[in-house]
């Protein structure tokens, strides 16, 4: 499955030049890793976000947001944001900031296990 290169470029711009940022191919798309933990990614044209599971559950009420479900069983703490929910730079920044904030609460993984950008 291909992923939106345009969205990947927008996310890269939003994340800037972080020393702790890497990219990794997964889920048939690309994931953006902060300190070795997935913060967000792209599957097709949807933004996949990783958040604190309790916070993610409350964000399901936002427009254009749904559970991340590959196998018929949603993954706790992971959501999909449809293209309409990230159409503007401000809306994408909001979602990316949420994922980065969560990733920064997790202990850094050793650099040797990280993929290069």
Q: What is the mean pLDDT of each run of 10 residues along the chain (117 residues)?
A: 91 94 90 96 96 93 92 89 98 98 91 52
Decide if 50 is inside a domain.
yes
Mean pLDDT of the chain: 91
Question: Total structural domains in the chain?
Answer: 1
In terms of residue numbers, what domain contains 37? 5-105
Instruction: Please enumerate in sequence order all residues whose Cβ is within 8 A of that of 91, keeping only pairs 6 or more positions apart, or say none.
Output: 85
What's 29's domain CATH number?
3.90.1150.30
pTM: 0.88
The structure tokens listed for 79 are 């959501």
Q: Is 16 left (phi over 0), alpha (psi -120 to 50) or beta?
A: left
Decide if 32 is inside a domain.
yes
Instruction: Collapse the DSSP code of 35 into the 3-class scheme (helix H, G, I; strand E, B; otherwise coil) and give the result.
Output: coil
């Amino acid at each position: 499955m291909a992923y939106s290169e345009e969205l990947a470029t927008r996310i890269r711009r939003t994340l800037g030049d972080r020393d702790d940022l890497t990219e990794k191919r997964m889920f048939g798309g690309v994931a953006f890793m902060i300190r070795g933990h997935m913060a967000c990614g792209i599957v097709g044209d949807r933004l996949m976000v990783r958040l604190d599971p309790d916070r993610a559950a409350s964000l399901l009420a936002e427009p254009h947001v749904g559970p991340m479900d590959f196998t018929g069983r949603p993954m706790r703490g992971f959501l999909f944001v449809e293209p309409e929910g990230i159409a503007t730079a401000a809306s994408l920044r909001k979602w990316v900031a949420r994922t980065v904030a969560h990733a920064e609460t997790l202990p850094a993984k050793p650099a040797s296990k990280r993929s290069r950008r």
